[in-house]
Structure 1
Amino acid sequence: MDNKVTVSRKAHFNAAHRLFKPEWSDEKNLEVFGKCSNPKYHGHNYDLVVSVTGTVDSETGFVLNLKKLKDIIYREIEEAFDHKNLNLETEEFKSLNPTTENIAIVIYNRLRPHIKADQELEIILYETERNFVKYSG
């Protein structure tokens, strides 16, 4: 059986952040990032969809056991980011502006080592129900 199938798992985390470049003035940060550059930070209720595409295993019938994917997402993403100030409490964003794009790339990079090399990984990260990014490496 050589059928490619995509399986997905939804997750959720809440996090605060501030979009800014420290070398810019407050005025320029406000001009570029708007309210998201608030020096006192702001938060989002992020929704995450992690999708893995691969061949269905003839023995198990799985592309990837979704319980295993759930555990990986919990350990690598939810525990690391949920109820955190991304700028202050996570190593990745101490020097990287925590835009939704950059958060999606970091999530991908944290998950990729736990997914088989011959399987495709895609991240969809919703900052709001209308604003989201998609990243697949």
Structure 2
Amino acid sequence: MIYLTRRERFNADHHMYREEWGYKKDYEIFGKCSNSNWHGHNYEFVVNVREEQGPHTGLFINLKGISQIIREYVIDRLDHKNINLELDFMQGKIASTDNLATAIWDVFDPHFKSLGITLHPIHIKESENNIV
């Protein structure tokens, strides 16, 4: 069994809020992330996958293939986007890194499964101190 880790980066902005709460409660719960003027992050996205070694090539998986899946289904959809407004898979969700990681997994996993690859933990680093 072989595990492979691939790291990519993207930039995106968002703000965290619940319409029904209003600014005061949003700020109490989400802090400065509730600023209605948005804020952005330079995210780091880490993907871990597992697969048996290829019988004919001795290669685990073509790293270029993994990069292509990551680029098409994650980076191209997220980079320099507004998470709240531009991502169909985040509509109706609070734009937290936790929810973003879950949504990315849901979008991403079927594409790896179709290649016989098991997606293992993904991580999204929002800042030096916050990693989901």
Q: Shorter-chain TM-score category?
A: over 0.9
Q: Please identify which structure carries the higher helix content.
A: 2
Q: Deviations over 1:44-99 (max 9, x none)?
A: 00000111012111212233211001011111111111001110111122211111
5+ residue gaps, structure 1? none
Amino acid of the structure 2 residue aligned with 1:82: D
Moved over 3 A (4+): none
- Find the counterpart in structure 2 of residue 125 from structure 1: 124
Q: Give the CA deviation at 1:42.
A: 0.4
* Aligned-residue identity in percent: 38
Aligned residues: 130
Alignment of 1:65-104 (within 5 A): 65-104=62-101
Alignment counterpart, residue 34 of structure 1, candidates 21, 28, 31? 31
Amino acid of the structure 2 residue aligned with 1:119: I
Alignment of 1:40-55 (within 5 A): 40-55=37-52
- Find the counterpart in structure 2 of residue 24 from structure 1: 21
CA RMSD in angstroms comes to: 1.3
5+ residue gaps, structure 2? none
Amino acid of the structure 2 residue aligned with 1:126: K
Further displaced range: 90-99 or 112-121: 112-121
